[in-house]
Amino acid sequence: MAQTKKDGKAAQKRAKKALTKAEKSVRAAHEAVRDSSKKLRKKARKLAEQTEKLKAKQEKAARRLGVAEATASVGRHSTPDLTPPLPGVEKAPEPVVDADPEHVPDFTPPLPHSAS
């Protein structure tokens, strides 16, 4: 009978040890989750600030463009686009104006029938 008492106490001791170990790992997991969510919140806040800055820049650029368009004179020539093309990008073919009158379709409406 003394043997079973010892076995019971040893089992109880092992269970208590396992419980403290499990509690410790749960605590560590909670801390890890808290830290990662803290980092995520910080990252989200940073992204939100960047988004706000970009929106403000876009609005400012749009206002400037609106002012520039409003103050532009009517007779001014547009400047050609002198930026070099990106490497690897096919240049879109420009439409060619056909000056040959034979190739221009006739869009004149038919004459109304005369009542004779």
Distances 17 to 25, 27, 102 between C-alpha atoms, Å = 12, 15, 99
Q: Which pLDDT band, with edges at 50, 70 and 90, does 99 fall under?
A: low
pTM exceeds 0.75, yes or no: no
The pLDDT, as a whole number, for residue 80 is 76
Q: In this predicted model, what pLDDT tens digit does every residue of 60-94 receive, in sequence order? A: 999 888 877 777 655 556 777 778 777 777 777 66
Residues 28-56: pLDDT tens digits? 999 999 999 999 999 999 999 999 999 99
- Asked if residue 1 has pLDDT above 70, the reply is no
